Structure 1
Amino acid sequence: MDTFIPLQKPVKQFLNLESLIEYTRQIYDLPISKISIYRAVKSGSLPSMKVNGRLLFRISDVERWIEGACEKKEDS
């Protein structure tokens, strides 16, 4: 007899630009602008990928980016 395994909705792993702005505002209480994100992507400090013309960001990369920025402020 086959056992039934219910499907689970996958955990969200990627954010688009608007979701990233909302995520940083809600989770970290940081008001980050689109311009700041574009600059971080251009400089290479925030990894991203482009899919169908839209920027996507891995949540784990965003967390490392924010933590890295916080560490730099503490060192100053």
Structure 2
Amino acid sequence: MKRKLFLENTAKNNIVGQAAASRVALGAIAIGAMAIGALAIGAIAIGLLRIKTGKIGKLHISELNIDKLMMKDRL
């Protein structure tokens, strides 16, 4: 009798454990998808801004060059 109860309890615990593990996995997948979505939205927004403002895009490149020159001075 005790053995039967033990087996039933372990079966229930395994099912509960599997359900919890699958929930954690789904949560991790959802968080990952949200992060990827946020990155994609950010990349699209930056791309649209650069397309709209071509002149500012050129300024960004010149600013980067200035930063590089400043780094050379520091070294």
Q: What TM-score do you get using the length of structure 2 for normalisation?
A: 0.28
- Structure of higher CA gyration radius: 2
Structure richer in helix, relative to its length: 2
Q: Return the structure number with greater relative CO, CA threshold 8 A, min gap 6.
A: 1
Q: What TM-score do you get using the length of structure 1 for normalisation?
A: 0.28
Structure richer in strand, relative to its length: 1
